[in-house]
Structure 1
C-alpha cells in the first residue's frame, strides 16, 4: 500500500484500455510501454493476437519459472523479432545462439566473466568513474556520458591500453542511433511473411549496424596480435579438436556482443539511478552518509563494495522501476500449454520486467521508490522469479557481477564529488525499444561539490 510519504517517480501515462488493431501495432512499434493500461500490472498472463501471429505475456513468477527455467528446452530460442533486431550488430554471438553452439560459448563467457575475476576489473571501473567526474559540469546528458564511459570500461577489459575513449564514445552514439532505428515490431512476421522479407524494416538500422561492426573490427586490428585482456583469451580459446573456437567473424560477433551487452545495462541503470537521486533528497542524503562513513571521500577498494548495502539497494530499486532490458522473449519449439493456454510452435512467449517488477500482487507499493525493500534485513524479500534485471535461468547475464560492481563504483566515486539536479522543464520519459532508455536522453544539471 502506498503511503503519503512514498515517492512516486514519473512513468508514462497508461492508456484507459489495451489498444486494438492498427493502433496496437503502431503503439508496439514505437514504444511497448504505451500498450499497457493500469490493469496490466495485475494480470497473470496476457495473450495478444495480431493478424497471423500471437504473443503470450506471462506476468506471474510460476509462469516465468515454467518458461525460462523448467521449460528452457521448449523455450530456448530467442524470438524471431529479437534475433532479427540484433543479428545485424552481433551476428551469431552467444546472446542469440541456442543448442550446442550456445553451450560452448556460454561456458567460455562464464569463465571469462566469472564473479571471482570481478576484482581484477575494479581499477578500470575507478579509472572510468574518475574520468567522468572530472569531465562533467553544467547541463549534461548523463545518458550519453554513462554510455560512453561504460563502453570504455568494457573496451579496456577487452583490449587493455589499446582502448581509446573516442572509440567508446563513437560506439555509444552508433548504438543509440541503431536502437532508435529498429522497429519494436516485426511487421513481416505479424503479417505472416517469410523471415527473409523482414529486412526492409531494418534498412536504416543496418547502416548503423555496419558502422558498429567496422568499429569493432578496427579495435581488434589496433589491439595487435599480442594483446592480453579478455580479447586475448577469446582469441586463444580452442575447440575440442584443438582448432580456434572462434573464427575472425565470430570474434567480431562476440566482441560486439560484449561491448553492447556489457555497457548498455550499466549505462541505463546508472542513468535512472542518478535521476532518482536527483529527485529524492532523503535517499540522496542517506547514500551520501553511507559513502562518507565507509569511504571518507576516496574511491572504494574492491573489498569495500559489500560495505555499501544501501547504495546497492538504490541501484537494485532503480532496476526494478526502470528495468534495463524491458522484455525477455522466447520462441516455442513445439506445442506447449501454459496455465491452460495453448502455445503453438513458433509463437512468442514474453516476460516484461516493466510489468513484473510493478506487479501489484508481488510488490508492496509497486510504483513507489523504496530502496529499503532490497536491504539484507528487509522484512520481505524480493519475489523469486519476480525480479529479472539480468534475465533469469540458464541465460542469466554472464556479466551480472561485472555490471553490479561497476555500477557501485561509479556511484561511490561520482556522488560525493558531484551534485545532480533536474533542469527546468526537463521531464524524462522512459521508452522501451531494445532497452529501456529515457526518450531524448537524460539532461541533468551537474555541479561539483
Structure 2
C-alpha cells in the first residue's frame, strides 16, 4: 500500500474545455492571461490558431522549442505585442533590445556573471538574508503574520543592490515593493490597443498612472549613475568593481551609450530581482502546504549549516532545497510566456515525420505556463512534487521541457545567480523560522509580466525550536 501523502496541487486555473469567444478573450487577457488557455494547450505538441486575425503557433514540443530558440534562433525576432508592453518601460535594456544593441548589452553585462564572482556574490547573499531575517526575529514565540510576497521582493532587492551595485542604489527600499507592484500593475499589462497593434504613441488607458512610477524609477537610475560617476572621478581606485562600474566604463570606451546604460540599469533594478522574488514566495507557500517536504528541507538545511560550510557550496549541498524551488518555478514560472515572430518562412519535422510549416510573420508562443503543466511531458503535472528535480531524477527532464529561464542566445544571463540566491535565502529563513498558512492565505496566480499571487501571500512566521546541535 502506498503510504505517501496525497500530492498537493497548488491553486491554478483549470484548462478551458470550451473555446472562449472574441469578447471573452479580450476580457480574460486584460484580467489574467493565465485563465485563457484550454485543454489543447495542455495536451497537444503544437497548435495553429489565430488571435485577432494574427496567425499564431502555440509550441509545446521540446524539439520544436529548441528549433525556434536555438537551432534557427536568427529567424525569430521579438513579437510585436511583447515589445509594445515592455519597450515603454525598459527601452533598450537587455530584455527588450534586439540586433546589434542587444549584442553590445549582452557582451557588456556578461563579465559580471562569470564564475569568478560566485564567491563574493554568495557571501553578500548570505549577509543580506541574515539581515532580513532580523525583521522576523521580533515576531516572538507566538509568531506574527507578514506579507511574504512583498517581503521576498524587498529581500531580493537588497541582495541585488548589494551584489550588483555595492549597496549604492540611490533609493530607500521602504516602499520599493509597492513601487514595483505599481509599475507592473500599470505598465506591465496587455492593453486593448496592443491587441489592435496600435502605434506606441496611441494612449493606453490601462496604463494611466504608470508613467509616474516609471519616471520615479528613471530618476533613481539617473541619480545612481551620477553618484557613481562622481565617485569614479574622485577616486577610481577605491570605486567598487561591480555591475554599475562595469557599465559606466562601457560608456567611456564607447561600448554602450549613456541611454543604453540607463536602460540596462533600470532593467536590473526593476526586473532583475522580481522573478526570483516571486518564485521564493511561491516556494514558501507550497512548502507550507506539504509537511513532509518542509521537514525534509529543514533536515537538509540544518545538517549543512551545522557544518559551517561556505555559502557558495550550498547550492550543491542542498539538492532537496533546490528541488523545492525548481518545482515552484515549474508550477509558477515567473516569466509565463516567451513570444517570438518568424522573420522568414520556416519548417520543422519531428521524429515521427510530422512537419510544422511556419509562415513568415507568424507569432510563435512558447508558454512555460502550459509547457510546465503539459500532460505529454509531466507525470501528475498539477502536483507539487520536488523529487522530480532531485539529482537521480533530473535526467528524465528534457532541456527544452523546463524553461524558467528561457533558452538559446537570450537565455537569462542571471540563471545561476538566481538559483544560488534562492537556495541561500531559503536556507537562512527556513533554518530559523516556520512559514505557515493563515485563514487569509488564498493566493491566485495572475500574469502581470511575472506570475504573481493575487491577494498577496500573508503567512504566519514563527521562530523554530532548533536542536542544540543546530
Question: 2:236 — aligned with what?
Answer: none
Q: Distance in 2 between matches of 1:61 and 1:234?
A: 36
Q: 1:299 to 1:130 in 2, by over 3 A?
A: farther
Instruction: Please state whether the residue corresponding to 1:197 is helix, strand or coil.
Output: coil
Deviation at 1:406, TM superposition (A): 0.5
Counterpart contact for 1:147–1:268, Cα < 8 Å: yes
Match of 2:101 in 1: 101
Which residue does 1:303 correspond to in 2? 313
Residue-by-residue CA offset, 1:256-289 (whole Å, 9 max, x unaligned): 1122332011101100111111111100000000
Q: Deviation digits for residues 152-206 of structure 1, max 9, x if unmatched?
A: 2112223314346x63344432221121123643533433544543655533333
Q: Is the CA contact 2:165–2:244 (under 8 Å) kept in the aligned structure 1? A: yes
Determine the structure 1 residue equivalent to 2:468.
none
The whole-number CA distance in structure 2 between the counterparts of 1:160 and 1:51 is 47
Change (3 A) 1:207 1:46: farther
Cα gap change, 1:160 to 1:380, in 2 (>3 Å): closer
Alignment of 1:9-408 (within 5 A): 9-75=10-76, 77-136=77-136, 137=139, 138-163=144-169, 167-182=172-187, 184-197=189-202, 199=204, 201-223=206-228, 224-226=230-232, 227-228=239-240, 229-237=242-250, 243-296=253-306, 301-337=311-347, 342-378=357-393, 381-408=396-423
Between the aligned partners of 1:310 and 1:176, the Cα distance in structure 2 is: 31
| Worse overlay, 183-192 or 246-255 | 183-192
8 A Cα contact 1:189 1:198, kept in partner: no
Q: Provide, for residues 221-244 of structure 1, a one-character-per-residue CA deviation record: whole Å limited to 9, x for no partner.
A: 344432422101111126xxx733
Between the aligned partners of 2:340 and 2:203, the Cα distance in structure 1 is: 18
Task: Report if the CA contact (8 A) 1:30-1:433 is conserved.
Answer: no
Distance in 1 (CA, whole Å) between partners of 2:283 and 2:15 is 23
Cα distance per residue 1:412-448 (max 9 Å; x no partner): 1000111101111421111112000101221111112
> How many pairs were matched up?
442
1:369-403, Cα deviation, whole Å (9 max, x unpaired): 11111111127521220100111111001111111
Q: Cα distance, 1:298 vs. partner?
A: 6.2
Given that 2:112 and 2:243 are in contact with CA atoms closer than 8 Å, whether structure 1 keeps it comes out as yes
Structure 1's unaligned 5+ residue stretches are: none
Deviation larger for 222-231 or 19-28: 222-231
Structure 1 pair 380/246, CA: closer, same or farther in 2 (3 Å)? closer
**Cα distance in 2, alignment partners of residues 5 and 323 from structure 1:** 23
Question: Which residue in 2 is equivalent to 1:433?
Answer: 448
**TM-score when scaled to structure 1?**
0.92
Once residues 191 and 51 of structure 2 are traced to their aligned partners in structure 1, the CA distance between those partners, rounded to angstroms, is 11
Question: How has the CA–CA distance of structure 1 residues 250 and 271 changed in structure 2, closer, same or farther, with 3 Å as cutoff?
Answer: same
Q: Identify if the C-alpha distance between structure 1 residues 203 and 341 changes in structure 2 by more than 3 Å, giving closer, same or farther.
A: farther
